[in-house]
Amino acid sequence: MDNDENLCSLVSSRGPSRLVHIVHRTPDGARMSSSTLHHEERPTHYRWVVLTVIFITYVICMADRSNIGAVLPMIKGEFEISNFASGAISSFFFLGYAISQIPAGLVMTKKGTRHIVSLAVLLFSIITFCMGFATTAVALLVLRLLLGLMEGPTPVGMTSTVNAWFPPKEKGTATGVYIASTQFAPIIVPIIAVALANAQGWRSVFHWFAVPGVVMAIVFFLVQRTHPGQSRCVNAAELARITSTDTGGTEKRVDFGDMGWIDRLIRLRDEKPLDTNGRIMRSWNIWGNTIAYFFMNNVLYGMLTWIPSYLVTARGYNFIKMGFVASAPSIGGLVGALVGGVVSDRVFRGRRKPTMLITALMTAVMMVVVLVVPQNTVLVVGSLILTGFFLNIGWPMFTAYAMNLTTDGTYPFAISVINSGGNLGGFFAPIIVGALLDAFGGNYTVAFSYFVVVLLIGLVLILTLTEGRPAPKVGAATATRA
């Protein structure tokens, strides 16, 4: 038994034998059938092992991109740089991040995700380590750009893995778990980074944060496969569940049921799958989702950048108290991402737009509440937690939305377009809000009103999108093991 089989033995089980009739395709596309004696097996649950590795790996991704915030005051003091230069060091990550995603999606469409993601995690961990040796602000800015370039393939690979490894009725939940990692990291990273910086200097933060990424690059390579049919850890029963569209084995679409006015609002349709990259590039559903995601990222990364300053400047908190209060949106976001995936799968039966609409509308409402809530710490924290909760309850669905419109083969390219355009919001938002603060004398009511405006624009864009029923996965079980 090889190492792969040793790993898989932990999740496999076997029952009585039965005769199974198998239909598969030859390399030239011809259908062949055969009958063979198989053991009646209880489904393995290896997809949840894969999801756990995705969660941990992406926590590390988020940690390596966000640790700069905790040590930026020390870096600013040592290099004697301006606020604009400090913001640029933070923002340039997202420029590289956006640039690399479409090329990564194209490569993954042809080569799969396993090797590329593992290599990307290893490379951005090495760059994180090198950041600890930067002696100028320019060197740090260049390394942040390279960090974004190397990390860009990871979200494409993670979401493509979720799409390939989970049946339609579980994709929202799985995507919610993946997105929750982006909110878990900001809760723990400042505590760890500040402790390391105070004990050993700011450079040690990057040295120590690089280590988990090297480890997880190896773990990801050992655990993950591009398709579940390539893994020895997935038995036939689990593979059948993953590739099932809940239609009794017939080649029909998932039955979403009838939700009346909700289906009319979200424009539920039987869309022809976007089975080529050309069709993806011509799809308003993809581009509309991308632009709406851009506006959501404006809010998320704008808040991550400016909420700490808002709490100190506008609310009068000291730095220690600010550190605890500033984590409130991420705490709410962690819960929101987990709850939102389950709600999308179970309450809305696989529909993705309802929670996206909730996110755009309710986050706009909560941003107004944050600005007008009385000067009371409990109320301030509560409003920030709810803002993070509503921002993230539909956040996973901007990723999962395209799963119902594409095939396994074209989804990597589709999500690379969505992520590339969407994450440009992380590049522009800190600059735009900063410019508004400069223009209006540090007035956060005016600056944060920008978030309300873009959220309402996003709401309108989401309403124009079609909600597609997922097509069946034909031939998904014929993937070779690799």
Other C-beta atoms lying within 10 Å of the C-beta of residue 414? 31
First to last CA, the chain: 16
pLDDT at 53: 96
User: Which residue reads 């909420």 in tokens?
Assistant: 307
Low-confidence ranges of the chain (pLDDT < 50): 1, 13-38, 246-253, 473-482
What's the rounded Cα separation, in Å, for the pair 232 and 481? 8
Phi/psi for 24 (5° steps) reads -145, 175
- Residue ranges of alpha helices (H) inside 314-376 are 319-325, 328-342, 353-372
Do 259-470 and 44-239 have the same topology in CATH? yes
Q: What is d(CA 301, CA 47) in angstroms, rounded to the nearest whole number?
A: 30
* Contact yes or no for 384/329 (Cβ under 8 A): yes
39 in helix, strand or coil?
strand
Report CA 18 to chain centroid distance, whole Å: 41
Q: Are 231 and 3 in contact (CB under 8 A)?
A: no
Domain boundaries, the chain: 44-239, 259-470
Nearby residues of 316 by Cβ (< 8 Å), 6 or more positions away: 375
The per-residue pLDDT for 206 is 95
Per-residue confidence (pLDDT) for residue 52, from 0 to 100: 95
> What's the topology of domain 259-470?
Growth Hormone; Chain: A; (1.20.1250)
Integer Cα distance of 202 and 216 in angstroms: 23
CA distances in angstroms from 439 to 11, 180, 432, 444, listed in the order given: 59, 35, 10, 11
Structure tokens at 22: 């198998």
Q: Please state which CATH class domain 44-239 belongs to.
A: mainly alpha
Could you give the dihedral angle defined by the CA atoms of residues 369, 373, 377 and 383, in that order, rounded to the nearest 10 degrees?
Answer: -10
How many angstroms separate the CA atoms of 173 and 178, rounded?
A: 9
Q: What is the pLDDT of residue 151?
A: 93
pLDDT tens per residue, range 47-79: 999 999 999 999 999 999 888 877 877 887 888
pLDDT recorded at residue 368? 94
Predicted local confidence at residue 182, as pLDDT:
86
Q: Using alpha carbons only, give the angle 360, 55, 101 rounded to the nearest 5 degrees.
A: 65
Q: Which residues contact 66 (CB under 8 A, 6 or more apart)?
A: 185, 186, 189, 304
pLDDT score for 72: 78
Query: How far is 332 from 161, CA to CA, in rounded Å?
Result: 26
Whole-angstrom distance, CA of residue 263 vs CA of residue 267? 6
Polymer length in residues for the chain: 482
pLDDT value, residue 134: 92
